[in-house]
Structure 1
Amino acid sequence: MTPLYARHQRTALAIATTVAAGALLATGLTTGTAAADSPPAGKPALAGAPVLLSAAARTSLIQEHQASAAETAGEIGLGAKEKLVVKDVVKDADGTVHTRYERTYDGLPVLGGDLVVHEPASGGARSVTKAVRTAVKLSSVKPGIAAGKAEKQALAAAKAAGSEKTEADSAPRKVVWAADGKPVLAYETVVGGLQEDGTPNELHVITDAATGEKLHEWQGVHTGTGKGLYSGTVTLGTYKSGTTYQLYDTARGGHKTYNLARGTSGTGTLFTDADDTWGTGTASSSSTDQTAAVDAAYGAQVTWDFYKNTFGRSGIRNDGKAAYSRVHYGNAYVNAFWSDSCFCMTYGDGSGNTHPLTSLDVAGHEMSHGVTSNTAGLNYSGESGGLNEATSDIFGTGAEFYAANSSDAGDYLIGEKININGDGTPLRYMDKPSKDGASKDYWSSNLGSVDVHYSSGPANHFFYLLAEGSGSKTINGVSYNSPTYNGSTVTGIGRAKALQIWYKALTTYFTSTTNYKAARTGTLNAASALYGSTSTEYKAVAAAWTAINVS
């Protein structure tokens, strides 16, 4: 679960999200199906751009690379006790294949052992991007402490963070913890219950299996036609079953929108309607109100279309299957969240149950946490956690611009519609992140100790500079003035190219432990693959990183 915003009184937070809900005639909008192994519709076939694989083609590639995983492990120098498990495969227009692997050691998952093998179509030398370079070698996989001790420690950590109804979701599992650089035998405990604001809890706690020392923790829940409260009149994908219409989008992987009706668990009830006209466009405290459902469904379909038509990605997991959405979670719950465990988006109704957190950029932000989880898997703490949050801000912004919705025009402001602050100001500003009073504009050596919602600032700033450049300007009626660390002038390459570079870096060059310096390398590699190492785009990426003090 990943929160959209941070609460100052705690370190591990739930992401707050809002999506505009509305009412409109739903006509079952469909999208064309792109051919397998083709670039996104209407996009130039850049050599390094990903192609849109059919489900069968993607499955075939995964099976092929899993079958040769043992050979690959040997070729890249892994030990006899190490095995590779294919997590994802990306194929570029020029035939280059990037295979993302998870790793095991003596049958145990290696957290921080992920890597990507890059194989050119020419059959030339393969290269590898590793989360951790250190070899995995343990003297024993027999723990020195009982699992119960690790569980108690995890429960204590959750309670200290404000968790209620706290209990372990399952018995601690043995793992190899490698993300800090030195592989050690450890226990991973996942704590359930509720966080302090009512968000479901999925706190992962890593305990050294020899000493009982807590090594790491992170939160697994990321908290961030009809007339929408924020999106206005929109066309929705619906399905007619008998004489009743369902909020079920068969054209986008089967996305469904459910009503929790103030509940906090389960799936809820699928939204239905007699005449296919949904919502009223105004807020209501009713637990059966359709307006929030319209915005949630609209946010899901825009996010699906954005990823498919911009990057050739078919759904959050790139497998052609949709997540689902739940609205009316809890009572006056001022948050929204993405959860990998249910593979779903959930929205609260906000203050007084009349301010649903269903705005378009929030929906795109939260569902992009799912994309990150299924690609680079950036650890949700330290610098990698800031990059994780920034990735969701970047793609949430991209989805908002993609929608071209006059009721919620694209901008470089995050959460400007939901008014979480109560004074009409957005949660975050990408042109000058420090305007929110907490985010950082530039990288510094202590950035990794800052809450991830604020350590995301430099990466958001990098993206804005890469897309739009430095200095003052007005875009869609919003004024921006972006500074640089070194007083340099940065010329932007446009949002479309900046998005392509960040997406390629995320899906083929970032790993779970990527920090800001590694992100610079990854985006330069991405720019080189897409546009060439002597291109204007490559030079702009370097200049934008320098402008936020990353070199």
Structure 2
Amino acid sequence: MRSITSTSRKNTLRAAALVASAAMVVVGVQSGSATAKTDRENGAQALALSAGQRSAALKSAQTEAGSTAAKIGLGGKEKLVVRDVIKDADGTVHTRYERTYEGLPVLGGDLVVHETKSGSRSVDKATDANISVPTTTPSLAPSAAKKSALSASAEEKNAKTDSQAPRKVVWAASGKPVLAYETVVTGVQKDGTPSKLHVITDASTGKKLFQREAIETGTGTSTYSGNVPLTTTKTGSGFQLEDGARGGHKTYDLNQGTSGTGSLYTNSTDTWGGGRQTAGVDAHYGAAVTWDFYKNVLGRTGIKNDGKAAYSRVHYGDNYVNAFWDDECFCMTYGDGENNSHPLTSLDVAAHEMSHGVTSATAGLNYSGESGGLNEATSDIFGTAAEFYANNGTDKGDYLIGEAIDINGDGTPLRYMDKPSKDGASKDYWSSSLGNIDVHYSSGPANHFFYLLSEGSGTKTINGVTYNSPTYDNSKLAGIGRDKATKIWYKALTTYFTSTTNYKAARAGTLKATADLYGATSAEYKAVAATWTAINVK
């Protein structure tokens, strides 16, 4: 478990016992140790298939698709195209298919065939309608369908639109199946969100039958970041905080509970915020920004780089003054702060927590001693970089950690990267005793390194915040820019750091990473070496 604050900080002492006990509750319940699963439940567990096993299962299912189509009673003009295969521990196989009619995709014709080990079979279909159309020759020209689709996109006030060539389909998702065109219009929505508008046009009458935005988005008013875009999922009765564009990340309300997932946030409209929703908006937005930061800046898709999302839980406990990452549940959890009135869901905190997961999935820096300080610093570094990446006008990027959540009650941040000792406990420079202090404070020199490497020493003002960063050896540093500093730290973390990396090894690792990225004789390499010296790591 990784938290944003030190439990030794004076104003959070009263929360320390809750932190410890809650951690045990979360891990115990979610790991399954509290409740034994029944044999039936175990049998229904999907088997983990390797890439090769999954490929073989798909190939086998496609080979047998013709036979399967006949067995489930499809017509002679219909064929099945395998999309997925899931095998349960008890031998049941669930095969998901798309359907074609005379070679045309049948939209709304997908189905799942379930076959038990004994051979009994059942089918779940998207439609029970008989798939048949009088002709597959359209009377409407493709250009007319394209014009109709572009018009539909214009009505949505999308900008920078472009259309793919319409494709012939059979529309079976509603009513009697008809021959139609599907046209995808790409563009930009009013709020700057990408648009992929799918428009279905009757190929005989030209009537628009259906349209859908593939990029499902909403908006929400957050506590710290103002009005922000949200990617949500539409349901039959409204919307829910599930981000299908980013691995399916979900945001839950624990309702002051300390175990389980609580309730998935839902809303009748796609406009969020106010009351208990606001913390959920912050967490959902923070997770999306962090995903995009890692993907767009560092080329990493998801915390484990497997395209899968974690999830977020807000409103944890009662007066819980902390936030944490837990590898067991693969999730972020946020308390509501003093008097349950100040949720710890600011953007840099969200990115900080998710970055603990990245560290766990890569170097696995031990959470104690110097490696623990580097672990904490890594989350501060990427949390800061994500905050700058977001370019949010309400919560501007800065080198202050947790400045928005006011956990100290006096408007000061948790940590300062330009001069870590300003918090009263963190260290500015390395010393032989560094590994003996709390990891939230031994992170100081690495945070200082990142600031100096990014911005240089001395006094300067960035986004309205004034910094004055000193050096151990009184050297003057110019900095190489935050983008390069971020990439160097990430490459070192994922390529050279290990679980036991200390500050001396971190210096070696970042120099290797810099040599890889920019060359061993580059200005960047010299800057990295000089910056480590400037925090007394030689």
TM-score for the superposition, normalised by structure 2:
0.62
> Which residue number corresponds to residue 275 of structure 1?
269
Q: Secondary structure at the match of 1:379?
A: coil
**One-letter amino acid of the counterpart of residue 268, structure 2:** A
Equivalent in the alignment of 2:504: 517
- Residue 482 of structure 1 is matched in structure 2 by 469
- C-alpha separation between the residues in 2 aligned to 1:421 and 1:537? 37
Alignment of 1:248-397 (within 5 A): 248-280=242-274, 284=275, 289-397=276-384
Aligned partner of 2:437 in structure 1 is: 450
Post-superposition offset of 1:13: 7.2
SS class of match (1:230): coil
What secondary structure, in the 3-state scheme, does the structure 2 residue paired with 1:235 have? strand
**Is 1:236 aligned to residue 234 of structure 2?**
no
Q: Which has the higher contact order (CA 8 A, sep 6+)?
A: 1
Q: Which amino acid aligns with 1:549?
A: N
Q: Is 1:5 paired with 2:20?
A: no
Instruction: Give 1:420's aligned amino acid.
Output: I
8 Å contact 1:5–1:14 — kept in the other structure? no
* 1:14–1:436 Cα change, 3 Å: farther
Match of 1:543, SS?
helix
- Which ranges of structure 2 fall in alignment gaps of 5 or more residues? 20-49, 56-218
- Are the equivalent residues in 2 in contact too, given 1:248–1:254 (CA < 8 A)? yes
Cα pair distance change 1:309/1:491, threshold 3 Å: same
Q: Distance in 2 between matches of 1:13 and 1:468?
A: 36
The alignment partner of 1:472 has SS state of strand
Does the 8 Å contact 1:3/1:15 carry over to 2?
no
In 1: Cα distance, 2:256 partner to 2:5 partner: 22
Give runs of aligned pairs for residues 498-509 of structure 1, distance below 5 A.
498-509=485-496
Measured in 1, the distance between the counterparts of 2:507 and 2:431 equals: 14
Deviation at 1:8, TM superposition (A): 2.3
What's 1:219 paired with?
Answer: none
Count of paired positions: 340
Question: What is the aligned partner in structure 2 of residue 159 from structure 1?
Answer: none
Q: Look up the match of 2:515.
A: 528
Larger fraction in helix: 2
Q: Output the CA distance in 1 between the equivalents of 2:446 and 2:5.
A: 16
Cα distance in structure 1, aligned partners of 2:439 and 2:237: 48
Q: What are the superposed Cα offsets for residues 476-524 of structure 1, whole Å, 9 maximum, x if unpaired? A: 0000000000011111000000000000000000000000000000000
Q: C-alpha displacement at 1:276, in angstroms?
A: 0.8
Give per-residue Cα distances to partners, 1:152-207, cap 9 Å, x unaligned. xxxxxxxxxxxxxxxxxxxxxxxxxxxxxxxxxxxxxxxxxxxxxxxxxxxxxxxx
Q: Which amino acid aligns with 1:472?
A: T
Amino acid at match of 1:310: V
1:111-122 superposed matches below 5 A: none
Report the secondary structure of 1:507's partner residue: helix
2:273 alignment partner, SS class:
coil
Secondary structure at 2:3's aligned position in 1? Answer: coil
Are the counterparts in 2 of residues 349 and 357 from structure 1 also a CA contact under 8 Å?
Answer: yes
**2:356 corresponds to which letter in structure 1?**
H
- Counterparts of 1:316 and 1:539, CA distance in 2: 31
Does the Cα contact within 8 Å between 2:18 and 2:320 map onto a contact in 1? no
Tell me which residue corresponds to 1:179: none
Partner in structure 2 of residue 469 of structure 1: 456
1:428-455: CA deviation from partner (whole Å, max 9, x where unpaired): 0000000001000000011110110010
Structure 1 position 379, deviation (Å): 0.2
Within a 5 Å distance, the mapping from 1:7-46 to structure 2 comes to 7-8=7-8
Which residue does 1:115 correspond to in 2?
Answer: none
Distance 1:14 1:520 in 2: 36
The Cα offsets for residues 296-338 of structure 1, whole Å up to 9 and x where unpaired, read as 0000000000000001000000000000011111112111111
Return the letter of the residue paired with 2:340: N
Offset, 1:459: 0.4
Aligned pairs for 1:86-165 within 5 A:
none
Alpha-carbon distance in 2 for matches of 1:436, 1:14: 23
4+ long deviations beyond 3 Å: 9-16
Alpha-carbon deviation of 1:392?
A: 0.3
Instruction: Establish whether residue 434 from structure 1 lines up as the match of residue 421 from structure 2.
Output: yes
SS at match of 1:525: helix
> What displacement does 1:368 show?
0.4
Change in 2 beyond 3 A, CA 1:291/1:9: closer
What amino acid sits opposite 1:264 in the alignment? T
Per-residue CA distance 1:129-169 (angstroms, 9 max, x = gap): xxxxxxxxxxxxxxxxxxxxxxxxxxxxxxxxxxxxxxxxx
Match of 1:173? none
Q: 1:545 to 1:498 in 2, by over 3 A?
A: same
**Partner residue, 1:188:** none
**AA matched with 2:324:** F
Instruction: Give SS of 1:481's match.
Output: strand
Q: CA shift at 1:59, angstroms?
A: 6.0
The answer (yes or no) to whether the contact 1:228–1:294 under 8 Å persists in 2 is yes
* Corresponding residue of 1:550: 537
**1:213-228 map, 5 Å:** 225-228=219-222
5+ unaligned residues in a row in structure 1: which ranges?
17-57, 64-224
Which amino acid in the other structure matches residue 257 of structure 1? T
2:459 aligns to what SS in structure 1?
Answer: strand
Counterpart amino acid of 2:476? Answer: T
- Report the CA distance shift for 1:290/1:235 in structure 2 as closer, same or farther (over 3 A): same
Structure 2: distance between partners of 1:306 and 1:528:
24
Residues 471 and 534, structure 2, Cα contact 8 Å, conserved in 1: yes
Asked if the contact 1:2/1:14 (under 8 Å) is kept, the reply is no
Letter paired with 1:379: N
* Alpha-carbon separation, structure 2, partners of 1:327 and 1:4: 15
* Deviation by residue 1:449-471 (Cα, 9 ceiling, x = unmatched): 01100100000000101000011
User: In 2, distance between residues paired with 1:446 and 1:487?
Assistant: 22
Cα gap change, 1:539/1:59 in structure 2, threshold over 3 Å: closer, same or farther?
Answer: farther
Alignment CA distance shift 1:254-1:495 (3 Å): same
- Contact 2:228–2:285 (CA under 8 A) maintained in structure 1: yes
